[in-house]
Amino acid sequence: MSREWLVVVNLGSFAMIGVALVFVVLWAIDRSRVHALLFAGMIALYFAGNLVLSVHADIALLASIHGILFPIAFLLLVDGLLRRSGQQLGRTSAIAFAVILAVVVWFFAYVTPLMVGRIITQNLGGGLLLLYAALSLRASATRLADRVTVTATTVLGVSLLVNVALAPFSEVPREITTDAELDAYLASPLEIGLIVASAVLLPALLVTLLAVTIVDLVADLRYQRDRDELTGLLNRRGFIEQAHLTLKRAPVCTLILADLDFFKEVNDALGHAGGDHALATFAGVLRTAPDVGQVSGRIGGEEFAVLLPDSEARAAMEFAESIRERVAATSISYGGATTSLTASFGIATVEPLMSLPALMDAADRALYAAKAKGRNCTAVRD
């Protein structure tokens, strides 16, 4: 291992500053993503720690400063990992971890100067902390991005523990004071392991976290774009997009269109806020219906749509009737006023080569038929 590798490692550290800035930008876009700011802080402290070790000054002092920055950097990394999944690192445990590592490093810097002791301490602590994070995240790692994150975290944690195992088989001077000692150390298995961890695996984890954070942000923006804010159901755009996907994978689908009856009178009785409450109540009934893989959305003012995959008209009729009966049995109260709420339903089953707009037109005609029959009923397209 030549000294040129040290230049490569330092250049890699500088490149990570760019990644940290992107994390800051992502946090600025969505301040709820505190983990992005924690990842940026981790990179900044880790870079500062490497910078400290490159300064020509008292070795014990520099090692002690690095011994403070290193555990805090890894605590920020792990806390960011946990916060992304809705968990959090305990404050007491974090403080204890940082203090213990800093004290042990200080001991091997001033009391018994021993570079390998400092290396083992930091790699053992960092490795165990990362594996703790990976184990904590494993249960909730249901998406591909989550599984990739857990894998990258585990690989880095294991690599740090491998460095601990390599230490006894490496010729490491008590302290590096001469060029000859530095050259010998750079050729040791321990230093090779450290460079792999710091110049390859750690940047790989951070780039993975950057990609995952961007994917999370885009997914959330898309979720907000496709959701109706009042009811929490899909809006028209989101419903149509999901309905297209459902029609592609399900050979038989049935569409139910629902329209709240005499909604203007409901608004007059309860006020506009009460009308919103009525819409949210109806949406709640849809959300609590038996889950058969349906796609539900609010596609107009008081109009809703439910697409049932792998269902024919009879099953859709039973589904719609259960919704209708539950709604009819519900009284809507708001602002001291109370009114009843009913809905009409139209059903159409997809036919070969039928497009989604054609299916919606067919269900809409059935809905008009239900209204023509006096409302508060369900009609199936002939």
Taking the C-alpha atoms of residue 289 and residue 249, their distance in angstroms, rounded to an integer, is 22
| pLDDT tens track, the chain, 382 positions | 444 555 555 556 677 889 999 999 999 999 999 999 999 999 999 999 988 888 888 889 999 999 999 999 999 999 999 999 999 999 999 999 999 999 999 999 999 999 999 999 999 999 999 999 999 999 888 899 999 999 999 999 999 999 999 998 888 777 776 767 777 777 788 888 998 999 889 999 999 999 999 999 999 989 899 999 999 999 999 999 999 999 998 888 999 999 999 999 999 899 999 999 999 999 999 999 998 899 999 999 999 999 999 999 999 999 999 999 999 998 899 988 899 999 999 999 998 888 999 999 999 999 999 999 999 999 998 6
CATH architecture of 236-380: 2-Layer Sandwich (3.30)
b (16+ CB within 10 A) / e for 176-209: beeeebeebbbebbbbbbbbebbbebbbebbebb
Taking the C-alpha atoms of residue 108 and residue 131, their distance in angstroms, rounded to an integer, is 25
CB 377 within 8 Å of CB 328: no
Would the CA dihedral through 321, 325, 326, 331 be positive or negative? positive
Q: Tell me what pLDDT residue 354 has.
A: 87
Per-residue tokens: 232? 């929490």
Q: How far, in Å, are 47, 64, 117, 341 from residue 176 at the CA level?
A: 21, 15, 13, 81
213 burial (CB, 10 Å; 0-12 / 13-18 / 19+) is buried
Q: Tell me what pLDDT residue 73 has.
A: 98
Q: Say whether 321 sits in a helix, a strand or coil.
A: helix
Q: What residue spans define the domains of the chain?
A: 4-226, 236-380
Say which residues have a Cβ less than 8 Å from residue 290's Cβ, sequence separation at least 6.
Answer: 319
Q: Tell me what pLDDT residue 1 has.
A: 41
Taking the C-alpha atoms of residue 240 and residue 132, their distance in angstroms, rounded to an integer, is 43
Q: Tell me what pLDDT residue 382 has.
A: 67
Q: Tell me what pLDDT residue 9 has.
A: 56
Q: Tell me what pLDDT residue 169 has.
A: 85
Q: Tell me what pLDDT residue 11 has.
A: 58
